[in-house]
Amino acid sequence: MNLILFGPPGAGKGTQADIIVGTRGWPKLSTGDMLRASAAAQTGVGRKVRKVIERGELVPDDVVVGIISSRIDAPDCRAGFVFDGFPRTVPQAEALDRMLEKKGLTVDGVIEIRVEDHALIFRIEKRAAESDEVRADDNLETLKNRLAVYREQTAPLLPYYEKQGKLFSVNGMVDIEGVAAQISDILDGLEGAQKTA
Ligand code: AMP
């Protein structure tokens, strides 16, 4: 099952992807995690990536698509994978569709976690307060930019996947278990449909 978890920063994509890893065994592919690892390296590329993340902007599409392309060829991705934070632009989604088609694969489902703006700000501030390692982009100023970038560049992916008949939405305003249960129902449905196909 090749899945995309979709939603604004702070929606809980990473948390829900971790739950899916535990319950279904598909690996989580988080471009944010991969890029933070690259930013931690003291290389020229690492320094550039770090600056982009700190501003709350997006890393260029070709960089992100390149990282994903090699990652999905790994043996642990054979039964499927869960994207967290990818794709984030229409060109990334188009590149992903082309890449998967070449490999005889497809995106099976896109699950949007819907959360209201005021809750996103509260959650990110909470994450920054509770985490040992504070993310450089978990502050109010960068968050506002990340939300603006989400609305302008990432939200247009919703009609992209809706047209493909792959979009599902869950209510992200309930607790973690409540969101996980809604996602699990969708995944059961998708797996059932795959078995009967
Ligand atoms: P995240 O952990 O998903 O919130 O991502 C943190 C930051 O990494 C984002 O604000 C972007 O700067 C960068 N990033 C993560 N995924 C992508 C992507 N698919 N395309 C471009 N930039 C990304």
Q: For residue 188, what pLDDT is reported?
A: 96
Going from the Cα of 196 to the center of ligand 1, the distance in angstroms, rounded, reads 36
Q: For residue 187, what pLDDT is reported?
A: 97
Q: For residue 128, what pLDDT is reported?
A: 78
The residues of the chain scoring below 70 in pLDDT are none
Percent of the chain with pLDDT over 90: 80
Taking the C-alpha atoms of residue 48 and residue 80, their distance in angstroms, rounded to an integer, is: 31
User: For atom 19 of ligand 1, which residue has the closest CA?
Assistant: 86
Ligand 1 first shell, C-beta below 6 A: 9, 31-32, 35, 52-53, 56-59, 64, 85-88, 92, 137, 146
And the tokens for 133?
């390692």
Going from the Cα of 84 to the center of ligand 1, the distance in angstroms, rounded, reads 9
Q: For residue 106, what pLDDT is reported?
A: 96
For helices 31-40 and 44-55, angle between their N-to-C axes, nearest 10 degrees: 130
Q: For residue 176, what pLDDT is reported?
A: 96
Going from the Cα of 42 to the center of ligand 1, the distance in angstroms, rounded, reads 19
Q: For residue 144, what pLDDT is reported?
A: 87
The chain-wide mean pLDDT, for the chain, equals 93
Give the burial class of 146: count Cβ atoms within 10 A of its Cβ; 0-12 exposed, 13-18 middle, 19 or more buried.
Answer: buried
Q: For residue 153, what pLDDT is reported?
A: 98
Count Cβ atoms below 10 Å from residue 167 Cβ, excluding itself: 18
Going from the Cα of 193 to the center of ligand 1, the distance in angstroms, rounded, reads 32
The pTM assigned to this predicted structure is 0.94
